[in-house]
Structures are given as structure tokens and as C-alpha cells.
Amino acid sequence: MSSLDTTTSSPLPTWLAKHMQFGFTADDVAALVDSIDSSQGLQGSTAAQLPAELLLLVLEHVPVDHLLDWRLICRGFRDAIDGRILFHHLRRTELLGSLGSEEAFSMSQLTPEQYDRLHVVTAQFQKVENEHGNGMSKSDSAIWSSPYAVFQIEDNWLDAFRDIFGIDAGVASTREVGDAMWGFQFDRLQLRRAEEGFGRLRWCIKLDQAVLDLSLPLESSRNEFNLEVELSKRTIRVRWKDMLFGFLKTEATLRRMIEKRQGSKFTFSLVEDCLREVRRQRLHAALNPDNRVDRHLKWSLRLLQPLFGKPRLDQTPLEMVEDASIHTLLLLRREAAMTPKQLQRLQQLQEDHKTMDREIDELSTDFNEFKSNMRPTMVFGLSVPFHTDDNLPRNPVAWPEDLRASIEGRVNKWKSQRKVIRQMHTLLSSSNEALAVPEDSFDNLGSQF
């Protein structure tokens, strides 16, 4: 620093000379450097400092929608997030493939139970590899330097496909002659066929509590992450760093928009409006204004239903595509935000609700039979079933909070009266059996009495 204490005419190092044109003198620069040195002195701070190893462990638990903000704190955090932390997140990442809504033509051929087993394809992280498909050797610097990640499609989906159709999904996907309906779905998942609607959900990423599109749009001609889906090998290969950085940026954008729009009017709900807005922004950004088809798509996107309480315009064909994609994403995001204990409790509530409906219906049937036995000459109308939840979503995760609370209240009442209901059922069943016997059924038994 001695050179900086001389006169202003003394030559400065090249890395400082560029500041002179902005009005800084050597004394100004010296004061700045001295202040930095004093602020970083070990004797000037009495606060406890965590070791760097612990700070890097904290990064592993930062929510995914805040992770990129921590990357801006210092170079050490940036290097850790770009390497080890991002790979730590990759191992928890799942890829989910959507076969479409229940109203889609190919899905409408299935029973509700078959649809629940098939409509989402789940793939778990398996390994990383280089461009040639080889794993990293021990001599390589770090495992996260491999550019590609391989995900393995779960056997549950493949087993369900085999049980329902009697063929293996991998075999069916490679057959030239086969069921056209499932050939269409396999081509969709493997990006071999253009989508019927721009922006339709095909593959999405699930990481902790966040679920978003893998890419928007995801087509063979717009495949920015080199996604390769091979159902015959049950594998998915993707350039993982680009994929995760895009996912983290989109999730952070969604979080900031939700925070900014707090208290605003909305068309659907705050979260749904923000999710739709983020997807529309990404779809707009992917289009080329110099391309004729892309210009038409931009025009169509602007005609979608306005968000945040703005007046509605005429309905457009892309609205059905957006509605189906948003419905699937919201359902997956809600499920991802729940703990295993919460999911188990919801499933148990659904089972209790079904049992309650069945027992009350049986009691109602017994009572109607009792009335018909007591008053055989009277004609009774159709009995009204106890439950009125015919349109109840089969997946309890999709139940709104008010509906879940209502069902839980009814189930609790039923549990408190279940002993009485069973006694009534036993009493009515016994009475019906006795009343169903004709009065003269014992006249021809040859008895002396």
C-alpha cells in the first residue's frame, strides 16, 4: 500500500488505473482498500463464525425456490451450488410423464382404477454419464462433472401396463403394428410426435415440494436439454445441469410472483394464476417472431383467459390444453408438498368414507325391506342414497380443504355411532328374516301341534 500513499501523479497498477476516469484518486482507492482490510480483520469481529463445512451443509437444506439467491452471496457458495449441492438435488429429483387428462380419447377407454395406475409415469435418478454413455472413472475430478443424467422408469408403471394390456410397455413401444391408441401415447412420451396443442404437459420435474414442466415447450424440435426417452430400455437421459438450473430459475420466478401478487385480485386462485402466468411467459419466450407458425402461436397465447381478475375474452382452443396441464401440475405440486404421514392420513380418510357409505347404504336397504314387510300393500318410492359425493375426486389429494373438513366431520360422527349402526343393522336383518317367512309355512309339516 506504500505506492498508494504517494502523490496522485504516481502510476497506479493496471487493475486500479481504470477507476481514475470516474474521478477516483489514489487517496480514494487507498481509503477503500484500508476499509476493506479493516472490515476483514480477525481482531475486529467478536461474533462466532461457523466453519465453512457447516455452511456448505446448510446449503443442502435451502428451499429450491431460494437456492439461486444464495448462489449470489459469494464465490464459495456459487462453486458449491454449481457442483456438489446441485448433484445432491439431482439424486432427489424425479421425472414425471403425463399421459393426459381422463377426458382425453386414449385415456377415456380405461376404467377409473386403470387410469389412476397409468396416467403418470415416474422415473427415479439412476446415474450420471458422459456424452458417450460411459460412467465417470475414479481418475476423473468429480462425479458431478458428467453432463448427462440417466433416470430409470419405475417398475410399478410397467407392471400396471402389463397387467392391463397383457403386453410389456417396452415391447409395445417398439412394435410397428399394434394398438394405435397406445402407439400415440408412446410417441408422445418419446418426443416422436408433435403435440395437438402448444404447451401441453408431457414431462415434468419433481424436486422436494416443487413440480414444474421439464421444458416449455417440450417437443422434438425444441428439445433444449437433449431429453432422450427410451421406453424399450426403460431409461430417460437428459443434460441435467441445464435442466436443473432452468427448473430453479422458474421456481424462483414463481415464488417472487406469488409474493408480489399477495392481496391482488385473481381469476382462479393466487397460486394458479401465477403458475399460469409463468408458463405463458416461458411459452412466449420460446417462440420466434420471425417464424410464421410461431407468430400465430403468440397471437393465440395472448387470447387465453386473462389472469388476476381481468375481464374474460372469447374462449380459445389453447385454453383446454392449458387447463389440463395446470390441473395436473397443481395436483402433483400439492402431493409433493405433503408429508408421507399426511398422505397416509388422507388415504385412510378416503377408506373410512367408503366404509361409512357402504354401511349406511346397507342400513338404509334393511330399513326399506323392513317397511315393505310391515306394509306390503304400500308402494315405496326409490330410496335416496346416503352419500351425495358422486363427483368426489378419486384422488383424496385433489379434495379442497372445505370438502376434506366436511368429510372428516361426517366420518367422525359415523365412528362415534358405529356401534349403534351395527346393532340396528343386526336387529333389522333378524326382523326381515323373520317377517319374510310366510304365516302358513308350518301348516303342512305333519306335526300334531
Task: Say whether both 286 and 354 belong to one domain.
Answer: no
Residues facing residue 258 across a β-bridge: none
Task: Say whether both 113 and 181 belong to one domain.
Answer: yes
Task: Say whether both 133 and 239 belong to one domain.
Answer: yes
Task: Say whether both 307 and 244 belong to one domain.
Answer: yes
Is residue 182 within 8 A of residue 167, CB to CB? The reply is no
| pLDDT of res. 64 | 92
Residue 55 lies in a domain: no
Task: Say whether both 166 and 188 belong to one domain.
Answer: yes
| pLDDT of res. 87 | 95
CA 85, 87, 91, 96 torsion-angle sign: positive
Residue 188 lies in a domain: yes
Secondary structure class of 98 (helix, strand, coil): strand
**Whole-angstrom distance, CA of residue 95 vs CA of residue 364:** 47
Residue 172 lies in a domain: yes
| pLDDT of res. 385 | 47
Task: Say whether both 144 and 217 belong to one domain.
Answer: yes
Residue 81 lies in a domain: no
Secondary structure class of 214 (helix, strand, coil): coil
Task: Say whether both 360 and 311 belong to one domain.
Answer: no
| pLDDT of res. 20 | 47
Residue 67 lies in a domain: no
Task: Say whether both 167 and 291 belong to one domain.
Answer: yes
Residue 187 lies in a domain: yes
Q: Work out how many domains the chain is built from and give that number.
A: 3
Residue 70 lies in a domain: no
pTM reported for the whole predicted model: 0.71
Task: Say whether both 193 and 264 belong to one domain.
Answer: yes
Length of the chain: 449
The torsion angles phi and psi of 18, rounded to 5 degrees, stand at -65, -20
Q: Which of 194, 182, 236, 232 is nearest to 214 (CA)?
A: 236
Task: Say whether both 178 and 292 belong to one domain.
Answer: yes
Name the DSSP letter for residue 3.
G
Task: Say whether both 328 and 356 belong to one domain.
Answer: no
| pLDDT of res. 357 | 87
For 16, the domain range is 1-40
Question: Which residues in the chain show pLDDT less than 70?
Answer: 1-49, 135-140, 166-182, 195, 311-315, 376-390, 437-449
Task: Say whether both 345 and 332 belong to one domain.
Answer: no
Residue 48 lies in a domain: no
